[in-house]
A and B are shown apart, each in its own frame.
Chain A
Amino acid sequence: MARIVGMEISAACSEAVTLADADVIAAYPITPQTHIVEHLSEQVADGRLDAEYINVESEHSAMSCCIGAAAAGARTFTATAAQGLALMSEMLYIASGMRLPIVMALVTRTLSAPLSIWGDQSDIMSVRDCGWIVLFAENGQEVYDMTLQAFRIAEDERVIFPVMVCLDGFHLSHVIEPVEILDRAEIAPFLPPYKPKYRLDPHNVLTMGAFAMPEYFSEIKKRQDEELVSSYHVILEVWREWEERFGRHYEPLNPYRVDDAEVVVVIAGTFAGTARVAVDRLREKGIKAGLASLKLWRPFPRDDIKRLFARRRVLTVVDRALSVGGAGGPVANELRAAFYHEDGRPWVASFVAGLSGRDILAEDFVEMVERSLEYAKKGEFPPYEMYGVRE
C-alpha cells in the first residue's frame, strides 16, 4: 500500500528507480553528483535492487555505459548535474539518435564559470536540442512520480526516446518532504518489466548506431523530430492513466488561477511553488494574476500554450538561465515564437532570475509581475532583463 514518508527528494528519486526495478545504473560518483546515485548504490549493495551498478570514470562514460546497456535491452538509469551534463552532452545526442529509452534524473545546476555549485537551469538549456523528452518537476512527489512515468514513456513502442526528469538543484534535490511511496504490486500494472522492441542479441542480429550518408541523415532526423513531437500524445495518455491509478494530475502546463487572469507567470521547476504564493498576494492587491508551471519542455507543448494564453494580455516568463548575448530567456523565446503568427498574441516579458542558487522570493515574483504590467501600460518591453542584479 502507498504510504507517505518524509524523505530527501534525491532519495525519493532513488526509491522510484528501485521500484522501477532498473537493470543497469551507470554513474560518476563525484561532484556535481547528488545523493540520487549514492542512495541507489546503497540499494544495490543492500540487495534491495537487483541491478548492475557501474561506477564509471566520467559522465561521458556514464552515458556511454547507459547507451550500451539500453542497446542490450536493459532498463537503464543515470543521474547527473551541471558540468556533468556538459561532459555528457556528446553522448546525449547519440542516446536519442539511437532511440534508446534511457531515463536520467538531471539535478539542474549552473554551468561554471565563475565556479559555482548552486542551482539554476543553465545546464538543461545548454542541451535544449539534444532530442530527449524533458520533464520538469515542481516538488518531491512529482520527482518520484515523473521518474516512474519516465520509464513508461521512454519504453512505449510509440515513443522509444530517452527521458530526462529535471529537478532543481538544492531547492529540490536536498530538501526533505513528504512523498507518497508506492509498492511493487501497485506499480506493476503501470510499469511492467521492460520488453525491448529492438536489442543487441547474438541470436537475432541487427546493427545499431550505423553510419548514415548524407542522403539518409535528414530523413532519419525528420522521423526523429516527427516522433518526438507525437510522443506528446503518449505522455498525456500516461499522465491520464497515472491520475486514474494514483489520483495525481499532470499536464504540460499546470495552471493556477488563470481563468480570468490578465497576467500569467510562466516558470519551469520548483520556483513555481513560490510563484503561487505571489499570485495569491497579487490577487489580494486586486491584480488578476495567474501561474502556469511548465512540466513538459520537450516535446514543446505548443498547442497547450496557445490554448492557455490565447487571450492573455501579459506573460511574465521567468527563466533560470541566461542566453548570453541572445534574444531573451530560453522559455520566453519559445513562447514568443509560438505566438508570432497569432492575432491578439500576448506580450511576453522575459526575466532572467534565480541564477546560481539565488532565491526568487514571492515578493520578487510580485515585483516582476508589476513591472510587466507597467511595460504593458507603456506598450514597450525590453527584450529581456536580468532581475535583481545590483546596478
Chain B
Amino acid sequence: MIEVRMHGRGGQGVVASAEMLAVSAIRDGKYAQAFPSFGPERRGAPVVAFCRVDDHTIITREPISVPDVVVVLDPTVLRAVQATAGLKPGGKLVVNTCLRPEELARDLGVGGCTVATVDANRIALQFIGQAITNTAMLGALLKVEPVASLEVLYGLLRERFPAVADMNIQALQAAYDETSVAEFVMGDIVMGDKRKKLVTDLPTWRTIDHACIVFEPGSSVQYYTGDWRSMRPDWNSEKCVKCGKCWMYCPEAAINVDEHRDYKVDYDYCKGCGICAEECPYGVIVMVEECE
C-alpha cells in the first residue's frame, strides 16, 4: 500500500487533488481511498488530505500518520504545520518551492528520505493564471511515486473540469517534467518550525475546566493566524506619509505603530488579506507572494 498525505491551504484544491488521485488509481484497476482531515477549515487555513492506493481492498479508516509520501502544495504551510511528521524512513517529500532539493533539505534539516521540489506557483501562474497548484503538484507526485497513470488522470481532468482541463494538464505535465529529485541517505527526518510547540500537555478530564471556560483574557494571541497567509504585504517605508490608514483598516489589528510613528506589520498575525495595500493612498504597501 502507498499512503500519501497532502498539505496545503483551504482553497488550493488539496482535497480535490487527493480525490482525483484516488479516482485515477481506481480507474487504473487499483483500490484507493481519499479523504480530507475534517475540521473548521476556511480559505487560507492549513488543510490536510489523505490518499491510499493498494492492490487489495482497503478497510482501515485511520488517518495517515506514517505516510510513504508527503506532498506540500504551498511552501508557506511548512511554517504552520509539521508536514514531515511520521514520514517513513526512505519516504518521499514532494514540495512546491523555488528551492532546489538540497537547499530545502538543508533548510528543513531533513535526511533519510527523497526530496523532490518544483516551483509549482510559477508553473500554475504561467499556465492557469493563478497560484492554484494542486494539478501541478499531482504531476510532481506522479514523477516520484507513479500511483496512477498520467493518461487516466488527464481523462479525469477533461471530464471534471472541461473548461480549464487543458491549462491544468499543461501545468501538470510541466511540473512532471521540471521536478527535481534528490535522495538524502544520511540523517533523520526532522521537522520544523521551532516556534510551534508540540502539544503534549493536554489536560485530563480531571484538570480540564468543567464547562470549557477560558479564563485567560486575550488568549487569541497564542493563535498565529499569520500561518494562513499566502500573500504578504511588503512595505516601502520611504514613501510612507504616516497617515495611519493601514492601521485603521487592518481587520486583525496586525499593524502596529512604534515610537517614531512608523507602521509595521506583525507577520505572526497578518492573514495577508490585502486590505492595507488596497487602502494605502500612496502605494506604499504591495502584496507579494510568500515565496518571494
Contacts and interface: CB of A to CB of B under 8 A. Distances in A.
Interface of A: 97-100, 160, 198, 205-213, 215-216, 218-220, 222-224, 226-227
B211 A208 contact: yes
B137 to A, nearest CB: 27
B204 A207 contact: no
Interface string B85-110: 00000000000000000000000000
Contacts of A209: 212
Contacts of B205: 218-220, 222-223, 226
Interface of B: 39-40, 199, 202-206, 208-215, 217, 219
13 contacts: A97-B211, A98-B211, A198-B213, A205-B217, A206-B217, A210-B212, A210-B213, A211-B40, A215-B199, A216-B208, A219-B204, A223-B208, A223-B210
Contacts of B209: 220
B217 to A, nearest CB: 5
A205 B214 CA distance: 9
Contacts of B214: 206-207, 210
A186 to B, nearest CB: 32
**B contact face: mostly helix, strand, loop, or mixed:** loop
A213 B37 CA distance: 13
A216 B199 CA distance: 12
A220 B208 contact: yes
Contact of B212 (A215, A220, A227): A220
A216 B213 CA distance: 12
Contacts of B215: 206
A216 B209 CA distance: 10
Contacts of A99: 210-211
Contacts of B206: 223
A160 B210 CA distance: 9
A224 B213 contact: no
Nearest to A212: B212
Among B203, B204, B210, B215, chain A packs the most CB atoms within 10 A around the CB of: B210
B39 to A, nearest CB: 8
B207 to A, nearest CB: 8
Given A99-B210, A220-B205, A223-B205, 13 more contacts: A98-B211, A160-B211, A205-B217, A206-B214, A206-B217, A210-B212, A210-B213, A216-B203, A219-B203, A219-B204, A220-B212, A222-B205, A226-B205
Contacts of B211: 97-100, 160, 198, 208, 220
Among A207, A211, A222, chain B packs the most CB atoms within 10 A around the CB of: A207
A224 B210 contact: yes
A216 B39 CA distance: 14
Contacts of B213: 198, 206-208, 210
Nearest to A198: B213
Contacts of B203: 216, 219
A227 to B, nearest CB: 6
Among A222, A223, A226, chain B packs the most CB atoms within 10 A around the CB of: A223
A218 B202 CA distance: 12
B45 to A, nearest CB: 13
A219 B209 CA distance: 9
Contacts of B39: 213
Contacts of A208: 211, 213
Contacts of A218: 205
A165 B151 CA distance: 68
B29 to A, nearest CB: 36
Nearest to B214: A207
A211 B220 CA distance: 12
Contacts of A100: 211
| 5 smallest beta-carbon distances between A and B, as pairs | A99-B211, A207-B214, A222-B205, A219-B205, A205-B217
Nearest to B202: A215
A208 B212 CA distance: 7
A195 B40 CA distance: 36
A218 to B, nearest CB: 8
B202 A216 contact: yes
A99 B212 CA distance: 9
A223 B213 CA distance: 13
A97 B209 CA distance: 11
A224 B209 CA distance: 10
Nearest to A227: B210
B143 to A, nearest CB: 35
A91 to B, nearest CB: 15
B196 to A, nearest CB: 16
A213 B203 CA distance: 13
Contacts of A210: 212-214
A99 B215 CA distance: 15
A208 B209 CA distance: 11
A76 to B, nearest CB: 15
Contacts of B40: 211
A97 B213 CA distance: 11
Nearest to A100: B211
Contacts of A215: 199, 202
A145 B204 CA distance: 38
A338 B212 CA distance: 31
Nearest to B207: A219
A222 B215 CA distance: 20
Among B205, B211, B215, B217, chain A packs the most CB atoms within 10 A around the CB of: B211
Contacts of A222: 205
